């Protein structure tokens, strides 16, 4: 396993990490979840991603039980939670990024995960109803209490992240260390354009999600349809419609042909492509089956295959590179 610094921080995270969105407490059994985390950990994965909103809190309960059962040394893994969406008990102060919810959600996550502190704590979305200043102060309260070690954002705009950095600087506080954006061959604007000055001037780290674009870059939907996959799950019709758009399917088919020529799976090719970006600290993998995870954990072996020539061929197929502003 390769380890990378989380932005300019001293924290080392595995280049491949493991997340529980849509699976833990929902799509798979607790026994399978335990097996998956064990396989990931044994392969050198040290970062496990979670959130209060995943399965309305059940995902964190499952992960907490697994960590307790596995008896891993606390220093050997990095664990996260995210605050914004709340759990199953919704209410006016049980969602968002108010000081009240940020702090209470952290305390609740610590109980569910059965740990004394969170390594990473993300603002899961921006909150238009709470001043960023209030959220920055709340995060610093948790830092001072030792309940979190680093805080960051997820799916924030560059302007919003910059405001948080400016607030922290003004009051001599600690600003966001990392952002968790979607990044894959179809979703590139933030990582490759909007955030560039944050990488270059502020050392922002990234923990990217959906490297397979909700599965279309795994090839399984082009061959077998959605039955038995996350896109066949009730309530995810919106994800199915967006993922299986005709344009994306056509490009995924062309990428599959290239992957076949290179003698690698489309999934491994797509994940390795994400890792080629030096501003990616870690790629979060999701899995519902052990063989699927074992296969994708071998991605680092594919990196040498992605020569400049191959990267150009991928670009010719996908045609999604953002147009950079002229300065």
**Cβ-count burial 233-259 (b if 16+ within 10 Å, e if not):** eeebeebbeebbeeebeebbeebbebb
Measured in Å, how far apart are the chain's first and last C-alpha atoms?
Answer: 39
What pLDDT score does 324 carry? 83
Structure tokens at 298: 């071998």
Q: What angle do CA 33, 211, 244 make, to 5 degrees?
A: 100
Structure tokens at 285: 């993998």
- The answer on pLDDT for 268 being more than 70 is yes
Superfamily of domain 3-214+267-306: NADP-dependent oxidoreductase domain (3.20.20.100)
- The answer on pLDDT for 251 being more than 60 is yes
By C-alpha distance, which of 121, 126, 76 is closest to 97? 126
What pLDDT score does 224 carry? 52
Render pLDDT for 98-152 as a digit per residue (tens, 0 to 9).
999 999 999 999 999 999 999 999 999 999 999 999 999 999 999 999 999 999 9
What pLDDT score does 213 carry? 95
Q: What is the pTM of this model?
A: 0.92
Other Cβ atoms less than 10 A from the Cβ of 104: the count is: 14
- The answer on pLDDT for 19 being more than 80 is yes
Q: For residue 96, what are the contacts with CB-CB under 8 A and spacing of at least 6?
A: 84, 127, 129, 130
Q: For residue 70, what are the contacts with CB-CB under 8 A and spacing of at least 6?
A: 34, 37, 38, 41
Q: CA-to-CA distance for 142 and 152, rounded, in angstroms?
A: 13
What pLDDT score does 22 carry? 85
Structural contact between residues 230 and 215, judged by C-beta atoms closer than 8 angstroms? yes
Cite the active site residues: 54
Structural contact between residues 203 and 161, judged by C-beta atoms closer than 8 angstroms? no
By C-alpha distance, which of 63, 150, 72 is closest to 111? 63
Structure tokens at 278: 């030096």
What pLDDT score does 183 carry? 98
Domains of the chain, residue spans: 3-214+267-306
* H helix intervals, the chain: 30-42, 58-70, 99-113, 132-145, 158-170, 189, 196-202, 220-224, 237-243, 246-262, 266-275, 290-296, 308-318
Render pLDDT for 273-313 as a digit per residue (tens, 0 to 9).
999 999 999 999 999 999 999 999 999 999 999 999 999 99
Other Cβ atoms less than 10 A from the Cβ of 174: the count is: 14
- The answer on pLDDT for 237 being more than 90 is no
Structural contact between residues 7 and 204, judged by C-beta atoms closer than 8 angstroms? yes
Structure tokens at 10: 């001293």
């Amino acid at each position: 396993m390769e380890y990378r610094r989380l932005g300019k921080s001293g924290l080392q995270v595995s280049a491949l990490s493991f997340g529980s969105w849509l699976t833990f407490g929902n799509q798979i059994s607790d026994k399978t979840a335990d097996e998956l985390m064990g396989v990931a950990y044994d392969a050198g994965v040290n970062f496990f991603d979670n959130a209060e909103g995943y399965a309305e809190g059940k995902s964190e309960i499952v992960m907490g039980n697994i960590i307790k059962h596995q008896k891993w040394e606390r220093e050997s893994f990095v664990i996260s939670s995210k605050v914004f969406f709340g759990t199953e008990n919704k209410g006016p102060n049980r969602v968002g990024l108010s000081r009240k919810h940020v702090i209470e959600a952290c305390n609740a996550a610590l109980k569910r995960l059965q740990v004394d502190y969170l390594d990473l704590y993300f603002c899961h979305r921006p909150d238009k109803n709470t001043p960023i200043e209030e959220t920055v102060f709340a995060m610093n309260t948790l830092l001072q209490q030792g309940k979190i070690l680093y805080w960051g954002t997820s799916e924030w705009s560059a302007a919003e992240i910059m405001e948080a950095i400016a607030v922290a600087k003004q009051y001599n506080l600690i600003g966001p260390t990392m952002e968790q954006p979607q990044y894959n061959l179809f979703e590139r604007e933030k990582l490759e354009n909007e955030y560039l000055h944050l990488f270059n001037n502020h050392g922002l780290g990234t923990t990217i999600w959906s490297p397979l674009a909700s599965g279309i870059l795994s090839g399984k939907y082009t061959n077998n349809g959605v039955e038995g996959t996350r896109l066949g799950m009730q309530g995810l019709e919106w994800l199915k419609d967006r993922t299986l758009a005709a344009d994306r399917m056509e490009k995924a088919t062309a990428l599959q042909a290239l992957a076949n020529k290179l003698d690698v799976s489309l999934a491994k090719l797509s994940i390795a492509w994400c890792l080629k970006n030096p501003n990616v600290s870690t790629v979060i993998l999701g899995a519902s089956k052990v063989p699927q995870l074992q296969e994708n954990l071998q991605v680092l072996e594919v990196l040498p295959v992605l020569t400049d020539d191959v990267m150009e061929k991928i670009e010719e197929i996908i045609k999604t590179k953002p147009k950079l502003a002229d300065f």
